Amino acid sequence: MHIHFHDSLDHEKLPVQPAEWDAAAKRAGKLGEGHVVTFSTDFDSVRDEVEVIIAPPYRLQQINMHSAPKLKLIQSTYAGMDSLYPFDIIPRTAMLLNNRGVHGKRAGEYCAMAILMLTNKMPLFATQQRQKHWQRAIGSLANRQRITIVGLGAIGTGAAHWARQLGMHITGIRHGNTPHPDCDATFSMDKLDEVLPTTDILLLACPLTPLTTNLLSRERIALLPSGAGVINVGRGKLVEQEALCDALDAGRLGGAVLDVFAVEPIPPTDRIWTTINMVITPHMSADDPLAYNADTLDIFFENLAAYLAGKTPPTLVDLTKGY
């Protein structure tokens, strides 16, 4: 097949390199043989022949895929599909694939850190450090805390793994309410309001879709018990950010550890920089450059194998759900 990597090889976001493709194709065995492979941002020169495009979403937005008559598979090198909504750039005759699963292990360790930072009152101590203020406060064993994880994809599953190791009581919220091996209970999204009042730590790891935008609204923040903590490793717009800052500044919530924000980079004048008991990381929780491209390409070959066998590719994006 003609497989086109639509990216600039020297871009700072570490696009797939030819040597990484060669290694992945070798791992894939016969499935990796006999392809025409191109690497460029010159789409016009390949559009008549290209059958597979592999690229990050912001690159996909720059080309007219409707003009590629043989295009069958579009493999995103990101998992989050929110920037492609409402998917009008995706030809109806092609399948959109993402690389969900690739972030699980790294993001799981970030979530373990964030959970332990909340049980150890680290957001409070970070605030006190900024104020040069020494005051002891007491942490808690994680096993005395109840965590609610919204979204049980690769990242939520990684978080649940560590919450289980820490002996926490774990409630999962997911599309449908199918059981999860590391959750004590799972509920569908419409039960969220009933779960929040008994949630010590709320962890958001779900995709951003029209249905999940502002999921953690001002009203829902008010349902959390006093002193509760919030972790967001999904997307910034899952949270009504002003309301979260208000609840932290008022001392009603105990702390927050956020990796994603309504606007990134955070503007210098944003109140979020100085909100008390707030810990910020710059959207890095799932980054793992040593494994990321290799894992993404392995996922692509699993998708390709399924496609060629007439089966559903494992990471096919359901455009009606948005992930």
Positions touching its own copies (CB under 8 A) are 105-106, 109-110, 112-113, 116-117, 119-122, 125-126, 128-130, 132, 134-142, 144, 165-166, 264-266, 268, 273-274, 279-285, 287-291
CB of 82 or CB of 295, closer to its own copies: 295
Distance CA 97, CA 23 (A): 21
Question: In 87-183, where do the E strands start and end?
Answer: 95-97, 146-150, 169-173
Beta carbon nearer to its own copies, 222 or 284:
284
User: How far apart are the C-alpha atoms of 237 and 53, rounded to whole Å?
Assistant: 28
Kindly tell me which of 246 and 287 has the beta carbon lying closer to its own copies.
287
Token pair for residue 209? 């879709």
Find out whether 205 and 80 touch, Cβ atoms under 8 Å.
no
To the nearest whole angstrom, how small is the minimum distance from the Cβ of residue 106 to its own copies? Answer: 6
Q: Which is nearer to its own copies, 252 or 271 (CB)?
A: 271
Contacts of 18 (CB under 8 A, 6+ apart): 9, 37, 39
Minimum distance, C-beta of residue 12 to its own copies, in the bound complex (Å): 9
Nearer to its own copies, 11 or 130 (CB): 130
CA gap 5, 41 in Å, rounded:
8
- What is the distance, to the nearest Å, from the Cα of residue 146 to the centroid of all Cα atoms in its chain? 22
Token reading at 110? 């970030």
Residue 107 CB, nearest approach to its own copies (Å):
10
Min separation Cβ 179 and its own copies, Å: 24
Instruction: Catalogue the E-assigned strands of 109-241.
Output: 146-150, 169-173, 185-187, 201-204, 229-232
Question: Cβ of residue 245: shortest distance to its own copies, in angstroms?
Answer: 14
Nearer to its own copies, 71 or 203 (CB): 203
CB of 130 to its own copies, least distance (A): 6
